Structure 1
Amino acid sequence: MEVVGAAVGALVTTTSELLYSCVSSKTKTTFNLHSNLAAVDLQMKSLKDRREEVKGETEAAKKEGNKIRSEVVTWLQDVETLQPGVDAIQGQMVNNKKPSRCFLNCRERYRASREVEKTLEEIKRLLLVAEKFNHDVVCRTGVPRAVEHIPGPSIRGQTTASKKLDEIRKALDDGFNRIGIWGLGGVGKTTLVKNLNNELKKASAQPFGIVIWATVSKNVVIKNVQTQIAERLNLGVKMEESVQRMASRLYERLENEEKFLLILDDVWEKIDLDTLGVPGPDVHKGCKILLTSRLMEVCRAMTTDLEIKIEVLNDDEAWQLFCQKAGDVAHLEEIKPLAEAIVKECCRLPLAIITVGAAMRKKTEVVLWKYALDQLRRSVPFIKGIEAEVYKPLRLSYDSLQGNNIKSCFLYCCLFPEDFAISIRDLVRYWRAEGLIGEGQNWEDMDEGISLIENLKDSCLLEEGPHRETVKMHDVVRDVAIWISSTSEDGCKSLVRSGIGLSEISVGEFSNSNSLDRVSFMGNNITRLPDCMIQCSKASVLLLGDNDALDTVPEKFLQGFEALKVLDLSETSIRSLPHSLLQLRDLRVLLLWNCSNLEELPSLGTLTKLQDLDLCGTCIANLPRGIENLSELRVLKLDGTGELKSIQPGIISKLSSLESLSICGSGFCFRLKGEEDGRATFEELKLSFNRLHYLRISLNGIPWEKIRRSFLDK
């Protein structure tokens, strides 16, 4: 009986436990009804939001001609199927906010609770599935789309850019296989080519089987460019794969394309297509290459068939672009003149206009616009973003310059006023005086200087000037050059205050003057200079020309410039020069042309390193004393010296290094032997003939036959 009792007891216990477990589970499900209903409501809202996102993504993908992934389609169908059941549950929740808790209603409550629980599980599953395809709704096949849209600003309404776009499209149609798009940084090359890409996407008849875009950038990494091409072709990318192996795979894949266009954006150096893995136009008749670069030299190195230079906007386009970025505030009566002046300072460069316009957006305080204009005129990158978005990108062009002293030569150009037509001949004489180009060449040999200037033009850092044999700097490029030179530690640190309307120079301008290498106050309205010593012991250049009202150079002013190599006082009203000039023992170039009030110079005999003396248009009656001691003088210009009546015999012949002599429109003329009357003769010139490379003199009615006999006949 005890055994039977124990067995019965155990059976009762087990049955009780099972019954308890079952009742407990159902009870838990039943009593979780309210919390599960709330969870269904909350989770369903999330599911609906996600459904709308996916619907939008699929509709956009369909418009682009893409096929939607099957799992995405199934997911949307499952959500739609689930919706009626959820609506019914939510309706019941509204109609029966306080369900009966009586024992007789338990079975019904359990059934409802179980249904809600299953619905909640399904909602969670669908949300989890949505996370897995993570906005990627397009079916990935082995065949990529012919053209992919590349986001970027539109050039609609920009006549200049639209014409260039038409020119590029025509070039592609006309059979050019390698096209180089080049121009100044920030001028809109990338924007233009993005618009080309997107126009090709809209074309009814696709001219290419595939258009591939790859951004190259400075300090190119071939593997990175290969990766961009491979991803565009839907080729698998293996990071451990060598450049050579990937090149082979790319080559094989592109060989199978009947026609393709490869766009290489922002190219800074030659890229070997074989190394990249691209069958070029020489071996693949359907291949076309389009590249953008700041450097014409890169286009040449890539053997382009056609080079298209992108120019800045016209005035109307520049204003419209600025207003687009700055907003309606630019049209306010008191602000519009300032806004127009700011646009002018941006010199029609799109990148600068966009950056400055965005910085001034919705600023209604006139004082802020005045301050912005003043800072832009001073070439100060005060506007938020202008240094990072304009100056630093343009500095890349400067950093890429290669060759001895070319960077220093470039920075020299910012010493001149804004929009100044820089004489190529003058620029070369400055460079030579500072030893930046070959001093051993004869003074009139311009080849090295012209080659360097062409290099800077090909880099879009210099432009053709408005007059023959002149160049100029784009205003924004000049601002960047001033910005660089203001902090340079490479012997080019400069104080540039040229062409800004100064009436006087304050001592405060020369803070940290001992670190300055170049100083320019050209093209102002300066009436007087500081009457004290300015300590600029390192400065090799001082440009004070084109200050019409300046009539005096104080004695003390030049005493602190003992290292000067170039001194320009041309086109001023000075009447004399201080004796402190004679302390400039390293001076190479002294420019005094068009100093129409200058009647006399101090003795120049101590300036033994002087190589270039320009006295054109002065009122001197005699050559400076001691000039015969200038054994290194190579250029002497005396054109337009109407008051010059005499050059003593023997002076010209003593200038043993003289290579260029110009005396036209002068009161002096050389005499024939026997007619010298105490003046220099043609025979004296004959002694210098072997070393003179340039001679320009007035004959003043002397018969040519006499000159031929006395001067040219051997």
Structure 2
Amino acid sequence: MEILTSIVGKITEYTVEPIVRQANHLIFYKGNFKKLKDSVEHLEDTRERIIHKVESETRNGKVIEKDVTDWLVKVDKVIEKAKWLQNDPRHPNVRCSAWSFPNLILRHQLSRKATKIKNDVVQVQSQESFDQIGYLPPLDVVASFPTRDDEKYDTRELLKEDIVQALADLNSHNIGVYGLGRVGKTTLVEKVAQIAKENKLFDKVVKAEVSKKLDIRRIQGEIADFLGLRFEEESNRGRAERLRQRIKMEKSILIILDNIWTILDLKEVGIPAGDEHNGCKLLMTSRNQDVLLQMDVPKDFTFKVELMSENETWSLFQFMAGDVVKDRTLKDVAYQVAQKCEGLPLRVVTVARAMINKRDVESWKDALRKLQSNDHTEMEPGTYSALELSYNSLESDEMRDLFLLFALMLGNDIEYFLKVAMGLDILKHVKAMDDARNRLYSIIKSLEARCLLLEVKTDRNIQMHDFVCDFAISITRRDKHVLLREQSDEEWPTKDFFKRCTQIFLNE
């Protein structure tokens, strides 16, 4: 009996049920399309809700998860199939009426398709279950750097190559770049970082601005942002330990510390030092080579950013000023204007942009006059403020007074300045000449490290860049009330000035 029941069950399964199922396609034609319509409308409502969430996440800078975008593509496809079937022009041929006999084969085909697509719709609907719609992508510091390869903003290719080579050196940990304010240090290290990323020297590159006003919490925050780290710790010490742990998770990482003025305690910030993490390297910039040396940068791995050459200056100036400098009547004076920018990239850009629409020679001559002005009121504000910041940061009045003295009597040798400094009592608390000489040499070396003096050559004469000298002379006149008379036909100042005047230098 059990065997007979089993046989009957199998016969029913393979014969009766398929017949019933096929018959249902004919009988429940309208019902199947109604179910399809309801399922599609439900899916469309769900899609609209998910799209609203996607748009909200996108506005907040989030990247949409792949499973969400893939699901939306599936939804569009299955809805498109359903709409096509619902709008099939053959529908009138399957209806029952008193005047015509329905096309049963077509009725069966369409009803069957409706059932299949409805099942597809339900299946896609069931996949709408996401842990999250979007996520915040990690910040890419290199991508945020300006890319201006076409304008030849920084043509110091050899220097860039040397720094990249130093970064690739297995024995290097700390690399330093130094130079005058606004000479282009930040731009240089940003381009080096781009090259390092292209060459896949590091898995991660992060950057923090240190600045003269040291703020450990801000530095920690800037580095953490580029690592996707969110601090829960309240104390700087706790944040430092958390940051150190996060940095160690990166197999290789380059940390750029820009604009360092004094020695920075890496442990206090949370940056692994020395052999603590061999995959972590530091690229630091400063106006002062001595600061870099104090930050354990080997002298061989310190690189000085010099002023741009005349050709580099002119090339950048032409690019920024545009076609106006190609005018034959303006080219000569435009070249002179460019060279009065003293090889400072930012100054070149500022002046060139100011002259971009000036097509009369009078305007160019007026610009040249301002740049040549000896009263220094026409010096580009950014350049002046950068030099003033360096000057105010000198360690002592001795160093500041000697810097100003060098500018007033530029070109003389060290021994001459030693006698003058002793005579003016600039070197304090020294009596013996050897002690005074040692003090003077020490200050000269410090000023060289800060790029306020050019390196002393074999002739032992003191030299500095023209615009640095101009700045120093403006300070002597403003703060020290010094009279510098360079030409015999120069007009003498007023009596009121002489009442305030502390020193007179005659360089006639």
TM-score (norm 2): 0.70
Does the residue aligned with 1:452 lie in a helix, a strand or coil?
helix
**Partners in 1 of 2:238 and 2:141 — Cα distance?**
26
Asked if 1 retains the 8 angstrom alpha-carbon contact of 2:160 and 2:192, the reply is: yes
- SS at the partner of 2:156? helix
Within the candidate set 255, 280, 289, 1:287 is matched to: 280
Could you tell me how far apart the structure 2 residues matched to 1:76 and 1:395 are?
59
Does the 8 Å contact 1:379/1:480 carry over to 2? no
Shift of 1:483: 3.4
**Alignment match, 1:108:** none
What whole-Å deviation, never above 9, does each CA across 1:219-240 have from its counterpart, x for those lacking one?
11011000011111111135x7
Determine which of 482, 505, 523 is the counterpart of 2:490: 505
Whether 1:368 aligns to 2:363 is yes
Are 2:402 and 1:409 aligned?
yes
**Structure 2 CA distance, aligned partners of 1:76 and 1:400?**
60
**Partner residue of 2:192?**
196
User: What's the CA shift for 1:379?
Assistant: 4.4
Structure 1 letter corresponding to 2:482: S
**1:423-572 matches, cutoff 5 A:** 423-438=413-428, 440-443=430-433, 445-465=436-456, 468-488=459-479, 492-496=480-484, 498=486, 502=487, 504-507=489-492, 510-511=493-494, 514-515=496-497, 536-545=498-507, 547=508
Residue 406 of structure 1: how far off its partner (Å): 1.6
The AA in structure 2 aligned to 1:506 is E
Distance in 2 (alpha carbons) for counterparts of 1:234 and 1:186: 31
- Count of residue pairs brought into register by the alignment: 396
Deviations 1:422-442 (A, max 9, x none): 322222322222211147424
Residue 212 of structure 2 corresponds to 218
Question: Is 1:271 the counterpart of 2:264 in the alignment?
Answer: yes
Gaps of 5+ in 1: 1-46, 85-136, 516-535, 548-714
Q: CA 1:267 to 1:71, structure 2 compared with 1: closer, same or farther past 3 Å?
A: farther
Alpha-carbon RMSD: 3.4
Q: Does 1:242 align with 2:228?
A: no
Distance in structure 1 (CA, Å) of the matches to 2:466 and 2:72: 57
Residue 135 (structure 2) aligns with: 139
* Displacement after TM superposition at 1:297 (Å): 1.4
Q: Deviations over 1:393-427 (max 9, x none)?
A: 222111211123322221223324xxx53322222
> Which of the residues 330, 335, 349 maps onto 1:335?
330
Contact 2:483 2:503 in 1 (8 A): no
Residues 381 and 322 from structure 1, CA distance in 2 versus in 1: closer, same or farther, beyond 3 angstroms? farther
State the SS of the aligned residue for 1:291.
strand
If asked which structure has higher relative contact order (CA below 8 Å, sep 6+), I would say 2
Are 2:285 and 1:297 aligned? no
Q: Provide the rounded CA distance (Å) in 1 between the counterparts of 2:353 and 2:278.
A: 45
Q: Distance in 2 between matches of 1:435 and 1:369?
A: 45
* Number of the residue aligned with 2:380: 386
C-alpha change, 1:191 and 1:514, in structure 2 (3 Å) is: same
Instruction: Say yes or no: does 1:179 pair with 2:169.
Output: no
Matches within 5 A, 1:573-612: none
Q: How far apart in 2 are the matches of 1:496 and 1:372?
A: 24
- The 1:76–1:453 alpha-carbon spacing in structure 2 relative to 1, beyond 3 Å, is farther
Distance 1:147 1:228, change over 3 A: closer
Match of 2:392 in 1: 399
The Cα shift of 1:76 comes to: 8.4
CA distance in 2, matches of 1:72, 1:487: 66
Question: Contact 1:147 / 1:210 at 8 angstroms: preserved in 2?
Answer: no
Q: Structure 1 pair 355/414, CA: closer, same or farther in 2 (3 Å)?
A: farther
Unaligned runs of 5+ in 2: 1-50, 81-132
Structure 2 residue 148 is the aligned partner of structure 1 residue 154: yes
More helix per residue? 2
Q: Which of 337, 347, 353 is equivalent to 2:342?
A: 347
User: In the aligned structure 2, how far is the partner of 1:537 from the partner of 1:428?
Assistant: 29
Cα shift at 1:270: 0.8
- The SS at the match of 2:135 is coil
1:85-144 Cα distance to aligned partner (Å, 9 max, x none): xxxxxxxxxxxxxxxxxxxxxxxxxxxxxxxxxxxxxxxxxxxxxxxxxxxx97326xx4
List per-residue Cα deviations over 1:587-643 (Å, max 9, x = no partner).
xxxxxxxxxxxxxxxxxxxxxxxxxxxxxxxxxxxxxxxxxxxxxxxxxxxxxxxxx
By how many angstroms is 1:539 displaced? 3.5
Check the 8 A contact 2:484/2:504 in 1, yes or no: no
3-state DSSP class of the match of 2:201? coil
Instruction: Go from structure 1 to structure 2 and tell me whether the alpha carbon gap of 1:506 and 1:288 turns closer, same or farther (over 3 Å shift).
Output: same
The one-letter code matched in structure 2 to 1:188 is G
Shift of 1:72: 8.3
3-state SS of paired residue (2:214) = coil
| Identity rate, percent | 31
The amino acid that maps onto 1:182 is Y
- Structure 1 residues 334 and 265 mapped into 2: Cα distance closer, same or farther (>3 Å)? same
Quick one: distance in 2 between partners of 1:465 and 1:443? 20
The whole-number CA distance in structure 1 between the counterparts of 2:416 and 2:75 is 79
Give CA deviations for 1:256-304 in whole Å, capped at 9, x if unaligned: 2222111101111111111111111232221211100000111111010
